[in-house]
Chains A and B, each alone.
Chain A
Amino acid sequence: MHRYRFILTRPLQFLPVIFGVSIITFVLVRLIPGDPARVLLGARATPTAIANVRAQFGLDEPIWMQYFYFLQNLLKGEMGKSITYKIDVLPLIATRIEPTLALVFSAVLLSVLIAVPLAALAARNHGRPVDHLVRVVSTFGIGFPPFWVALMLILLLAVAFPVLPVSGYGSTLGDKLVHLILPSLTIALSLSTVLMRSLRAAIVEWLKSDVATAARARGMPESIVFWRHVLPNAVAPTINLLAVNIGWLIGGTVVVESVFALPGMGQLLVRAIFSRDYMVVQGVAMVFACATVLVNFLADIATVAADPRVKL
């Protein structure tokens, strides 16, 4: 099991990064000109509320002591109160995690469903027109702005399928899934082009590999060679590609949640910026950064699990 030893050691390397993330989020909000208590509490704050925040965050003390208090509060899970929602930041964010997580999962699933068949089609017709078409699409698909693609989807699909909801989330599971169709399709259209590019190259490589040749030599039909020997090997690196692109993917959810009024963390962030709810901005940025680090860690585990030769 020594291949998995990094699961114990790697988190220690994350500590400095998370520590740095906390410094950056702390510094960002302290850079706003003016009295931090007043900035954090908004223009209509009462003197008692201001006094409370001053005490909690040690705002009368030197900056490094303030950071120490910030960290102390953070370890207790306290990131201050939202001025618009009047509740603690972390519980507020917790209520917004589900739509974002559901959006990311459905978008990834959908993009794999789009990318794998197209990449396979291109690779198996290597050098033919359909291959070139897929290559062009995968090279330039990244240039489609998600917020615009979302509106074009609404335009195209709202006419054909008026039942598709174009905003909000819903309360029952089925309702939620229906509300996720257009948002996740929007992200999947971009993400699948990224996946397609690497998948196509990987499938082309594996079709030429010794594994495939040996399978053919044993008399296996080409379809079995492809499904059993080529595709599983070619798909493995995609896990890593998804992890590398997680930051970009989260950026996509921020925009797409705003387009479709999906009440996730991204929409919370954008609204918080408009209402100058800095505690929320700070909290969401921090949670997103930790999520990114965590996803990369999980991807490392998945990569090691998927390929016995990989050592980290």
Chain B
Amino acid sequence: MSAAALKSRPATLVTGLAILGAFVLVALLAPLIAPYDPIYQDAAARLQPPSFAHPFGTDNFGRDILSRVLYGARIDLQIALIGVAFPLVIGTVIGAFAGFFGGLIDTALMRLIDIILAFPFLVLMLSIIAILGPGLTSFYIAMALVGWVSYARLIRAQILVLKNSDYAMAAVSLGFSRLRILFRHLLPNAVAGSLVFSMSDAVLVLLSGAAISYLGLGVQPPMAEWGVMVAEGQSFVTQAWWITLFPGLSIVVLAFGFSMIGDALGELMGVNE
């Protein structure tokens, strides 16, 4: 990354990292900073508008929305991070092997990717969750089964170019093993694009996880998750807007953070998505 590029885009990267950092802090410190227990139902404080006692108001069970939003950061950050990590690792390994060794396995994998990409992403996710049963674990499994294809494609394309590079030839002539060349020489140079993509992918994963939870097929109530909270507030949206507004805004701001990091990293590394 060049110094000039670093100078031109620091604000975006810093803002993005600050947003992500703030959410990580909130997630870690939720038990300390949340004013109430996120699942405690206070029958005397149902559907209260925002006030000093309840800055984000309360829901129809009298639960404190601020506390639920803070605790929700734990689940939704986890959704974004785990939901990206598995596909990233699986896709990188598969794409690296396919691109490096080529042949029949490569052809077969590319056909498999074509088939998986023929399904609309959310439809295939939902179909897998239908089989596994609702829940966060099912979501992660479905994510790992479906999400790797983008990373495999990106890495494979990179490896195909890099394996004909001069330094790869040099490594071959030095007598290094093929695995060593792949993992020590080629892969480190191939991952930049995937890492940039993983940030915009985090937005997609976060939104999918929240949407699936909103539909009732992901995180299960009474657990505080932003998508679930939006679903719970739906029937009250015109009387008690605060139940849905704040969890939705949290998704938007976190997604904004990921997008900013991805955008800035893309420019810094000279990667065009």
Contact = CB atoms under 8 A, between A and B. Distances in A.
Interface of A: 16-18, 20-21, 23-25, 28-29, 31-32, 139-140, 142-149, 151-152, 154-155, 158-159, 246-251, 254-255, 258-259, 269-270, 272-274, 276, 278, 281-282, 284-285, 288-289, 292-293
B245 A152 contact: yes
Contact of B120 (A143, A158, A246): A246
Contact of A255 (B111, B114, B211, B263): B211
Nearest to A27: B131
Contacts of A285: 119, 123-124, 127
Contacts of B227: 145, 147
17 contacts: A28-B127, A142-B200, A142-B203, A147-B210, A148-B252, A149-B248, A152-B244, A158-B238, A247-B121, A251-B121, A251-B123, A255-B215, A258-B215, A270-B126, A270-B215, A278-B131, A292-B118
Contacts of A16: 111, 114
B252 A144 contact: yes
A152 B114 contact: no
Contacts of B123: 247, 250-251, 254, 269, 284-285, 288-289
A89 to B, nearest CB: 14
Given A17-B114, A142-B203, A145-B207, 13 more contacts: A21-B115, A28-B127, A139-B259, A142-B255, A143-B207, A143-B258, A148-B251, A247-B117, A247-B120, A251-B211, A254-B120, A282-B127, A284-B123
Given A148-B244, A151-B230, A255-B211, A143 B255 contact: yes
A140 B118 CA distance: 26
Interface string B203-214: 100011011001
A159 B238 contact: yes
B248 A145 contact: yes
A145 B238 contact: no
A292 B252 CA distance: 28
Interface in B201-252: 203, 207-208, 210-211, 214-217, 227, 230-231, 233-234, 237-238, 241, 244-245, 247-248, 251-252
A249 B111 CA distance: 23
B211 A146 contact: yes
Contact of A145 (B129, B216, B251): B251
A154 B237 contact: yes
Interface in B120-146: 120-124, 126-131
Nearest to B233: A151
A43 to B, nearest CB: 15
Contact of A274 (B211, B216, B255): B216
B170 interface: no
Contacts of A148: 230, 244, 247-248, 251-252
B86 interface: no
B112 interface: yes
Contacts of A154: 237-238
Contacts of B122: 250-251, 254-255
Contacts of B112: 20
Contacts of A28: 127-128, 131
B214 A147 contact: yes
A21 B248 contact: no
Given A143-B207, A292-B120, A24 B115 contact: yes
B214 to A, nearest CB: 5
A282 B238 CA distance: 37
B256 interface: yes
